[in-house]
Structure 1
Amino acid sequence: MDIELDKVNSRKTATASVVLQPSTSLRSVVAASVEVSQAGPTPSPGASETAAVDNANEQSATDTEQGGYEVPTMTKLELQLTFISLSVVGFLANLDTSVVATAMPTIASEFNYLSQQGWIILSYLLTLTVFQPLMGRACDLFGSRSVLFVSIFVFEFGSLLCALAKNFVWLCCARAIAGIGGAGIMIGVMVIVSQIVPLRERGNYMGIMYARIIIATVLGPLIGGLFVSFDWRWCFWINLVIAVPGLAILVLFAKKLPHIKKADVSWRDIDFGGIAILAVFVVSMCLAFNWGGVAFPWNSKIVIVLLVVGFALVPAFITWEIKVPSYPVIPMKMFRFRNVTTSTVNNFFTASVLQGVFIYLPSYYQIVRHDKQIISGLEVLPYIMPFFLTSIASGLIISKTGSVRGLLWLGGFFNIVGSGLLIMLNGRHPRAVEYILLILTGVAGGPIVQASLISAQSQVTKDLLATVTTMTMWSRSLGGIIGVAMQGSIINNIFKRGILENATAAPYVAQLLAVENVSTLPLDVQATAAQSYGAAFQMMMVATTVFCLPGFMFSLVAKKEKLS
């Protein structure tokens, strides 16, 4: 079903194409970002007039989305089969990281790059994060169906190259290619679900969709551990095997998938300049927080330059998006809708909290509790399972009541309280107490992730649906990767300092930082490592609790929407 959307009107095109003059000040750039939907150099209206215009715009967008959205003609069986196939395809992107994370030390050891093993994951996550906005915009311009199929091919091609890798550089480059495909899969799947399911019913479907994250989290360590025992390359071959059934169903119903796109648009209209700025920003910030205090001192030139470049690119990106491209990768006009802004900020800070705990919790159990690697992976379940259950429950509540704002508040409250309680994790409390604390923290994620996406979608017209869906997901990915880098910097710096202060443990610092075969080290070294990592984890949770506050504060000002 091809739906040709109207071209952007000439007034907006002219406004977006204005070249930034050298005399433009930062204040005017910020003002332009707020008033991007207004025409020409007309004077700014008063506060009350602006509020009235914004409310009218928001109401109009809401009415269009809720009342005028066209759903493809599918039977109930076709919709269910399509949804299952989309879940299977999306499952690939989630399973990949979980499986590879378990096999990472073994893979890096084979190539003699144990100290650089993090790049096996980071190279995938960097391109996954950088290319998500591009994929969202491509869905708007060329149709989500095309983006999804191309992305599946790119992901599978990258996985094939990973399985055939002859050296570490080859592997990391192949992982980066797979990350590009993973970005398109994640965005394409969520956009298509948003297009084929009515707004009020999306909570139910999204809750089931998030189940794949739980399944991938549980199966990943088991599958990774199994493959490592005979051939780690099957960690990548498995992606080609799993894709077959989901892809077969999608091909069967391809013509019934929505293909909403703009008319007369080519690849030349893609905002490659904006993508380049985003890429440099993400890489600079991640490298700065990964290297700072570990590979290089915080006051070293390279770390300072990376931080300066990263922060300087934020206003540069906003300026570029407002003034240069006709089709910006992140249209600033969507931030005139209050719930898009609140959802984006909330997602960023929430993901930075959730991802950090998820990533570093297994290391806590390996080093502080002396658990085996596969057991430590399963001990994340008390944190992950509540996320899954509250996602489903939130979807049911949204479908039943048509309200989302209360769920945002509830999730934000539990996020702050749970993260604060996790400061208690130091290895001295009974495991049952630790699991209860993890459950209290885990219940926060489901309501926030569910409600924030639907809250943002409820206020925009369908020509911005893919972009807004992408923005909420991308802010989650960006918050996750930057949050993990910052939390990793805290843990690595404090942990490394504690190890180096002990003469007996100091020679093992590289092995301990890599969390490699910790159980084989001398007992006194293990004791020092447990004490140091426990202190590092507690300090990380202090910072994490502070990070919860901005997201919760923004959720308090979300506009109340009653879904029809």
Structure 2
Amino acid sequence: MPTIASQFDSLSQQSWIALSYLLTSTVFQPFFGRATDLFGSRSMLFLAVFIFELGSLLCAVAQNFVWLCAARGVAGMGSAGISVVMMVVISQIVPLRERGNYMGIMYARYAIATVAGPILGGVFTNYNWRWCFWINLIIAVPALAILIALARKLPAARKKNVTFRDIDYIGTVLLSVCTVSLSLAFNWGGIVYDWGSPVVIALIVTGAVLVPIFVCWEIWGPSFPIVPMDMFRYGNVTASTANYFFTSVSNYGMILYLPSYYQLVRRDAQLISGLELLPYMIPMLLATTLVGWLISKTGRIRTWLWGGGAVNLLGTGLLITFNGTLPRGVEYLFILIAGLGMGFVFQSNTLSAQSQVGRELLASVTTMTMWSKSLGGIVGVAMQGSILTNVFKQGILASSAAAPYVTRLLAVDNVSALPADVQSIASASYGSAFHTMMIATTAFCVPGFLFSLSAKKQKLE
């Protein structure tokens, strides 16, 4: 991101490249989930792919920073549809007991892309950053060919006498404004604006006021609410939604900030720091696949949900000890434990929520668990980024030798070329900031684990 933002002289605004994508991909998940339920998955999947590829094309030809961020937002809309529709399709055509095996494949795709993405992105950026987006259009050709060939097998049924006028547009707007307001408040607070600034306070108040308004509208307003509140009568839906939100704070932050830790504290190269996510992603991939198989074999969900939550809480807590002095093997072991727990939680959470509801709520429940995971990621990235930036910045500004390089250090831009004493100060400061961040992250994981304990036992037949 620093390289791309620098091309448009917008280094200080680089976070918007990711934030614009995350916001729209989160906001539009409930919309696509409900639209899939009303109009069928076949048409919604083609629409989502088209929007994503359009966004990628606009990114590839962007001429200024605002254009790029807007295009990323368009791509995020398409990404929301693709991820939601695919999970809903699996839920619709695969029996509950066998569903874990197929969802394991979906999460495996996510894990592989998370590792390969930053590595390929670094390679493309060194050549021409626009290829980070052109590649999506190239991949779309075989992907669309496969989709067209198999389209007839996708559920295409839609509710009778339903038109686009029946979509809950008011609920969509209320939820979107609420989500964006709270997300921006957490992203800007302590970094762009002080937490007590009028802008941040206004955003928090707006989001907080819209929550009860949205809930009341969904209960008494539309015929087809975007978020049917009936689903929360089921304890497992509430538990899984809350658990996903809190545990995702840890997951997204791990993926985003661990490479920076290894670049600044361990002074590893950018490519190496990306590979150091493997001790987290590979166990998560294996655990997700394994727990899907175990659920299919045993018909039990809660065992893996509880066990995964405990292991994830342990692994996240162990990362508090990261300060650059532990042996690397020990650090990788702690990261492995966190990834293992997260893999178990991701797989069992969705199935736990789905196990209590009928087909009429299946799409909405699946979408809501995904939405809470994405929202937790946005809040987590914002909270962790705020802590890291502020603690790290304080450490840098406290040193007369390092203070002139504060902008470059915050962007993690070619740190290895800086004077040795500045690198040492940056290493110590970021180690302290990472330690503080992981304390807050572990605190977020605690309520997630407690919510998982409230899940009711479901024996899948």
Is TM-score (shorter-chain normalized) higher than 0.5? yes
- Asked if 2 retains the 8 angstrom alpha-carbon contact of 1:367 and 1:515, the reply is yes
Structure 2 match to 1:61: none
Does the alignment pair 1:450 with 2:347? yes
Q: Aligned partners of 2:121 and 2:53: how far apart in 1?
A: 18
- Asked if 1 retains the 8 angstrom alpha-carbon contact of 2:26 and 2:80, the reply is yes
Shift of 1:439: 0.7
Q: Aligned partners of 1:131 and 1:368: how far apart in 2?
A: 37
- 3-state SS in 2 of match to 1:210: helix
Does the alignment pair 1:134 with 2:31? yes
Structure 2 match to 1:373: 270
| Aligned alpha-carbon RMSD (Å) | 1.2
Shift of 1:208: 1.8
Structure 2 match to 1:26: none
Q: Aligned partners of 2:133 and 2:303: how far apart in 1?
A: 41
Shift of 1:474: 0.8
Q: Aligned partners of 1:455 and 1:295: how far apart in 2?
A: 39
Q: Aligned partners of 1:281 and 1:483: how far apart in 2?
A: 17
Shift of 1:247: 1.6
Change in Cα spacing, 1:483 to 1:222, as seen in structure 2 (3 Å) is closer
Q: Aligned partners of 2:39 and 2:368: how far apart in 1?
A: 18
> After the TM superposition, which residues 146-545 of structure 1 pair with which residues of structure 2 at under 5 Å, given as runs?
146-545=43-442
Letter in 1 for 2:198: K
* Deviation string, structure 1 residues 371-428 (Cα, Å, up to 9, x no partner): 1111111101111111101001101110000010011100110121111111000001
Letter in 1 for 2:152: K
The higher radius of gyration belongs to 1
- 3-state SS in 2 of match to 1:377: helix
TM-score (norm 2): 0.98
- Asked if 1 retains the 8 angstrom alpha-carbon contact of 2:187 and 2:379, the reply is no
- Asked if 1 retains the 8 angstrom alpha-carbon contact of 2:52 and 2:77, the reply is yes
Structure 2 match to 1:553: 450
Q: Aligned partners of 2:274 and 2:119: how far apart in 1?
A: 9
Q: Aligned partners of 1:137 and 1:123: how far apart in 2?
A: 23
Question: Which deviates more from structure 2 when the two are superposed, residues 253-262 or residues 378-387?
Answer: 253-262
- Asked if 1 retains the 8 angstrom alpha-carbon contact of 2:283 and 2:340, the reply is yes
- 3-state SS in 2 of match to 1:259: coil
Question: Which deviates more from structure 2 when the two are superposed, residues 279-288 or residues 539-548?
Answer: 279-288
- 3-state SS in 2 of match to 1:322: helix
* Deviation string, structure 1 residues 227-282 (Cα, Å, up to 9, x no partner): 12221111111111112222212211212211232111111111122222222222
Shift of 1:477: 0.6
Question: Which deviates more from structure 2 when the two are superposed, residues 385-394 or residues 520-529?
Answer: 520-529
Q: Aligned partners of 1:472 and 1:299: how far apart in 2?
A: 32
Shift of 1:323: 2.1
Q: Aligned partners of 1:305 and 1:512: how far apart in 2?
A: 31
Letter in 1 for 2:310: F
Question: Which deviates more from structure 2 when the two are superposed, residues 219-228 or residues 138-147?
Answer: 219-228
Shift of 1:148: 0.5
Letter in 2 for 1:540: M
Letter in 2 for 1:410: G
- 3-state SS in 1 of match to 2:400: coil
Letter in 2 for 1:217: T
Q: Aligned partners of 2:126 and 2:44: how far apart in 1?
A: 36
Shift of 1:179: 0.6
Q: Aligned partners of 1:293 and 1:167: how far apart in 2?
A: 27
* Deviation string, structure 1 residues 201-234 (Cα, Å, up to 9, x no partner): 1111111221112221232123112212221111
Does the alignment pair 1:109 with 2:6? yes
* Deviation string, structure 1 residues 159-200 (Cα, Å, up to 9, x no partner): 111111111111111111111000000001111122222111
Question: Which deviates more from structure 2 when the two are superposed, residues 419-428 or residues 205-214?
Answer: 205-214
Shift of 1:138: 0.4
Question: Which deviates more from structure 2 when the two are superposed, residues 204-213 or residues 421-430?
Answer: 204-213
- 3-state SS in 2 of match to 1:229: helix
- Asked if 2 retains the 8 angstrom alpha-carbon contact of 1:145 and 1:192, the reply is no
Does the alignment pair 1:144 with 2:37? no
- Asked if 1 retains the 8 angstrom alpha-carbon contact of 2:242 and 2:448, the reply is yes
Shift of 1:547: 0.7
- 3-state SS in 1 of match to 2:231: helix
Letter in 1 for 2:430: Y
Between the aligned residues of both structures, percent identity stands at 62
Letter in 1 for 2:95: P
TM-score (norm 1): 0.80
Letter in 1 for 2:459: K
The number of residue pairs the alignment matches comes to 461
- 3-state SS in 2 of match to 1:444: helix
Shift of 1:505: 1.4
Q: Aligned partners of 1:506 and 1:289: how far apart in 2?
A: 26
Letter in 2 for 1:542: I
- Asked if 2 retains the 8 angstrom alpha-carbon contact of 1:123 and 1:173, the reply is yes
Q: Aligned partners of 2:253 and 2:345: how far apart in 1?
A: 16
* Deviation string, structure 1 residues 480-524 (Cα, Å, up to 9, x no partner): 111111111111111111111112211221111111111122222
Q: Aligned partners of 1:295 and 1:226: how far apart in 2?
A: 30
Question: Which deviates more from structure 2 when the two are superposed, residues 264-273 or residues 431-440?
Answer: 264-273
Q: Aligned partners of 1:140 and 1:111: how far apart in 2?
A: 41
Q: Aligned partners of 1:204 and 1:467: how far apart in 2?
A: 21
Structure 1 match to 2:459: 562
Structure 2 unaligned regions, length at least 5: none
- Asked if 2 retains the 8 angstrom alpha-carbon contact of 1:293 and 1:489, the reply is yes
Q: Aligned partners of 2:394 and 2:126: how far apart in 1?
A: 34
* Deviation string, structure 1 residues 100-148 (Cα, Å, up to 9, x no partner): xxxx222111111111111111111100000000000001111111111
